[in-house]
Amino acid sequence: MNCEQATRLLSDGQERELSFKEKAALKIHVLMCSGCSNFAQQMHVLRDFAQLYTQGGRDDDKK
């Protein structure tokens, strides 16, 4: 698996349940690849950003 395939699966993982095989291959790649490991985290962060963009400032008010 290369980075292009790994990132594609990381994006698809936001849309569908990955197969066991996909998950396993992805896990191995991400363990060895800092770029894809960062990418993986950022998929979740992007989703959080998008929610904050439209939803009444979950994090907007000062604590």
List residues binding Zn ion (CB under 5 A).
3, 6, 33, 36
Phi, psi (degrees; rounded to nearest 5) at 18: -75, 155
Q: Which of 23, 24, 31, 49 binds another protein (CB under 8 A)?
A: 49
Position 63 contacts another protein (CB under 8 A):
no
Dmax (CA) of the chain: 44
Torsion region of 57: left, alpha or beta (phi above 0 gives left; psi -120 to 50 gives alpha): left
Which positions ≥6 away from 12 have C-beta within 8 Å? 18
Residue 17 site contact among another protein, Zn ion, none (CB < 5 to 8 Å, cut-off depends on kind): none
Contacting positions for another protein (CB under 8 A): 2-5, 7-8, 11-12, 14-16, 33-36, 38-39, 41-43, 45-57, 59-60
